[in-house]
Amino acid sequence: MSKCIESTPRQDGFRMPGEFEPHAGCWMLWPERTDNWRNGAKPAQRAFAAVASAIAQFEPVTVGVSAGQFLNARHMLPAAVRVVEMSSNDSWMRDCGPTFVVDIQGSVRGVDWDFNAWGGLEGGLYFPWDLDDLVPQKVCNIERLDRYKAAGFVLEGGSIHVDGEGTLLTTEECLLNTNRNPQLTREEIEETLREYLNVEKIIWLGRGVYNDETNGHVDNIACFIRPGVVALTWTDDVNDPQYEISADAYQRLINAVDAKGRKLEVHKIYQPNPILIAKEESEGVDSVDGTLPRNEGDRLAGSYINFYIANGGIVMPTFDDPHDQLAMDALSQLFPGRKVVGVNAREILLGGGNIHCITQQQPRG
C-alpha cells in the first residue's frame, strides 16, 4: 500500500540521508522531447543508457519511459535495468522525482514537492509540467512507499544537498528566486526544509554555475563527499564568469559550521574548459515557443560536481576535456573504496543538466 501522509518527516522521525549512504537503487526517466534533445533525442538516449549501465554495475536501476518509447528504451538499456512505463514531460528525475527520507527502523518514505519546471510561467523551461509533477506519486506507488505531500512548496531535488547529519546546502539564486516560492520568506523556506528533510542547519551559497538554466542548482556547483567534507567547482581564471561565483561560494563554505558544529573541509574541483553549443547541435533541436532556445555558441553549465554517488561507485561526467582526468583523480582520492566511472555527458549537458540531474537515489533504509 502507498498512502499520502498528513504529518511531516520531522514529526515522524524521518530524515533525508546523504547520497553517500547505502541505496536500494536508482531511478531515472527516458529522454524523448525533440524541443530539448537534438536529433530526435537519439544521442541523448545513448548517453542516458550509458549512465544507466554504469550505475547498474553498482545498484539496481529503474527507468521510467513513455508508452511510445517503451520498446526502444527496453532495447537500448541492458537487461539488468528495470524499465517501467511512466509518462513525464521530460527526463530530470532528480528534480521532478521524490526525495526519499528514512527513519531509524529502516522505513523509507517519499517527499513529494510541487514541481513547476524550474520557474513556472516566470522563466520556467517548458509548459505544461503536469506529468512531471505526478512522478513522485507514481514512483512511491511502484515501491509501495508512503508519501508526504509538501503541498504549495516548489522544490527540485537538484537544488538541495544534505550531509544526512542535519546540514543542508543550497543556493539563494534558486531557492529565493521569485519564480519558486515568492510567498515565503527565507526563514519560512528554511522552516519548510527543516520539517520535510529533518535538517537543522542550512548553508546558503550565493549563485550556482554560470549559465545554469535551473537558476543555480547547488548540485552543479557543490556537494557533500561525506559529513564535514564538500567539493566545489573551481577555476583559477579570474576572467571567467565562474571565478567570482566559486570564490564567493568558497568563502561562505570555509566560514560555515555544519549542524554538528564542524568546520567544513572544502575541495576544489577544476571545471572543464568552456563548453559551447556547436552549430549542428543547435540545428538538431526543434525550436518551440516557450522552451529555451539552444543557440550556437551559447556556453553550457559544464561541471564535474554533477556526479552520482552509487553503492561502491561514482558515475561522473566527462567532456573530452583535459580536466577530465584531473577530476577523476580528485574524486578517486575523495572517495576511497568507490570505483570512479566516467561517462561522456556532453549530450546530457546539451539538454540543460548532467548525470546527477537525471538520477535519484532511493535509500536502502
Enzyme catalytic residues: 357
Candidates 217, 294, 338, 346; binder of ligand KQY (CB under 6 A) is: 217
- Of 237, 218, 225, the closest CA to residue 164 belongs to 225
Report residue 46 as a C-alpha cell: 545513448
Q: How far apart are CA 99 and CA 2, in angstroms?
A: 15
Helix%, strand%, coil% for the chain, nearest 5: 30, 25, 45
Candidates 352, 360, 362, 363; binder of ligand KQY (CB under 6 A) is: 352
Q: Select from 21-29, 64-72, 209-217, 328-336 the region that touches ligand KQY (CB under 6 A).
A: 209-217
Number of residues that bind ligand KQY (CB under 6 A): 15
Helix (H) and strand (E) counts for the chain? Answer: 11, 19
Q: How far apart are CA 334 and CA 344, in angstroms?
A: 21
Classify 314 as helix, strand or coil: strand
The smaller minimum CB distance to ligand KQY, of residues 228 and 274, is found at 274
The smaller minimum CB distance to ligand KQY, of residues 54 and 125, is found at 125
For residue 213, state whether it binds ligand KQY (rule: CB under 6 A).
yes
Q: Select from 77-85, 108-116, 324-332, 349-357 the region that touches ligand KQY (CB under 6 A).
A: 349-357
Q: How far is the CB of 309 from ligand KQY (least distance, A)?
A: 16
Touching ligand KQY, residues 8-37 (CB under 6 A): 36
From the centroid of its chain, how far is CA 288?
A: 25
The smaller minimum CB distance to ligand KQY, of residues 102 and 218, is found at 218
For residue 353, state whether it binds ligand KQY (rule: CB under 6 A).
yes
For residue 92, state whether it binds ligand KQY (rule: CB under 6 A).
yes
Helix (H) / strand (E) containing 343: strand 339-344
Candidates 125, 154, 256, 305; binder of ligand KQY (CB under 6 A) is: 125
Q: How far apart are CA 6 and CA 4, in angstroms?
A: 7
Q: How far is the CB of 161 from ligand KQY (least distance, A)?
A: 13
DSSP result, 43-66:
HHHHHHHHHHHHHHTTS-EEEEE-
Candidates 8, 177, 214, 242; binder of ligand KQY (CB under 6 A) is: 214
- Of 210, 119, 213, 205, the closest CA to residue 168 belongs to 205
The smaller minimum CB distance to ligand KQY, of residues 25 and 119, is found at 119
Binding mask 141-180 for ligand KQY (x = CB under 6 A): -----------------x----------------------
Q: How far is the CB of 7 from ligand KQY (least distance, A)?
A: 29
Contact 219, 171 (CB under 8 A): no
The region, left, alpha or beta by phi > 0 then psi within -120 to 50, assigned to residue 305 is alpha
Contacting positions for ligand KQY (CB under 6 A)? 36, 90, 92, 94-95, 125, 158, 213-214, 217, 292, 351-353, 357
